[in-house]
Chains A and B, each alone.
Chain A
Amino acid sequence: MVGELEFEKPVIELRKKIAELKEFTMNADVDLSSEIEKLEARLEKLEADIYDHMKPWDRVQIARHPGRPTTLEYISLLFTDFFECHGDRTYGDDEAIVGGIAKYRGLPVTVIGHQRGKDTKENIRRNFGMPHPEGYRKALRLMKQADKFRRPIICFIDTKGAYPGKAAEERGQSEAIARNLFEMASLKVPVICIVIGEGGSGGALALGVGNHIHMLENSTYSVISPEGAAAILWKDAGQAKRAAESMKITAPDLKELGIVDEIIPEVKGGAHKDVKAQAEKMDTILHKSLKELRSLSEEKLVSHRYDKYKSIGEHSVIKEFIGVN
Chain B
Amino acid sequence: MLKVFTKSKKKKYATIPSEMAKQDVPEGIMTKCPNCKKIMYTKELVKNLKVCFHCQYHHSMNSKERLASFLDENSFEELNAGMISENPLNFPDYLEKLEKDRKKTEINEAVVTGIGTVDGQTIVVAVMDSTFRMGSMGSVVGEKITLAIEKADELSVPFIIFTASGGARMQEGVLSLMQMAKTSVALKRFSDNGGLIISIMTHPTTGGVSASFASLGDYNLAEPGALIGFAGRRIIEQTIREELPEDFQTSEFLMKHGQLDAVISRIELKEKIATILSIHQQGGDLEW
Residues of A participating in the B interface, judged by any CB pair closer than 8 Å = 81, 83-93, 101-103, 105-108, 134, 138, 145, 148-149, 291, 294
Contacts and interface: CB of A to CB of B under 8 A. Distances in A.
Given A107-B288, A148-B191, A294-B288, A81 B279 contact: yes
B284 interface: yes
Given A87-B257, A106-B284, A108-B284, 5 more contacts: A85-B261, A85-B262, A92-B256, A134-B258, A148-B194
Given A103-B279, A106-B285, A145-B218, A84 B262 contact: yes
Contacts of B272: 83
B258 A93 contact: yes
B180 interface: no
Contact of A103 (B196, B219, B258, B284): B284
Contacts of A148: 191, 194, 218
B260 interface: yes
Contacts of A149: 194, 196, 218, 280
Nearest to A108: B279
A15 B194 CA distance: 59
Give the dominant DSSP class at B's interface. Answer: loop
Contacts of A103: 279, 284
Interface string B253-285: 001111111100000000010011011110011
A106 B288 contact: yes
B279 A102 contact: yes
B284 A86 contact: no
B27 interface: no
A247 B255 CA distance: 41
A89 B262 CA distance: 12
B285 A92 contact: no
Given A81-B275, A291-B288, A92 B257 contact: yes
A134 to B, nearest CB: 6
Interface residues of B, number: 26
B1 interface: no
A93 to B, nearest CB: 5
B286 interface: yes
12 contacts: A85-B261, A85-B262, A86-B255, A86-B260, A87-B259, A89-B258, A92-B256, A107-B284, A107-B287, A108-B284, A148-B191, A148-B194
B245 to A, nearest CB: 15
Contacts of B281: 108
A89 B259 contact: yes
A87 B260 contact: yes
Q: Which of B191, B255, B257, B287 has the most CB of A within 10 A?
A: B257
Q: Give the 7 A-B CB pairs with smallest separation, nearest first.
A: A87-B258, A85-B261, A92-B258, A108-B279, A88-B258, A107-B285, A101-B279
Interface in B43-83: none
Nearest to B264: A83
Contacts of B255: 86-87, 93
A105 B284 CA distance: 10
Nearest to B191: A148
A105 B285 CA distance: 9
A138 B278 CA distance: 23
Contacts of A138: 258
A7 to B, nearest CB: 42
Interface in B168-189: none
Interface in B233-266: 255-262
B265 to A, nearest CB: 14
A106 to B, nearest CB: 5
A101 B255 CA distance: 18
A294 B287 CA distance: 13
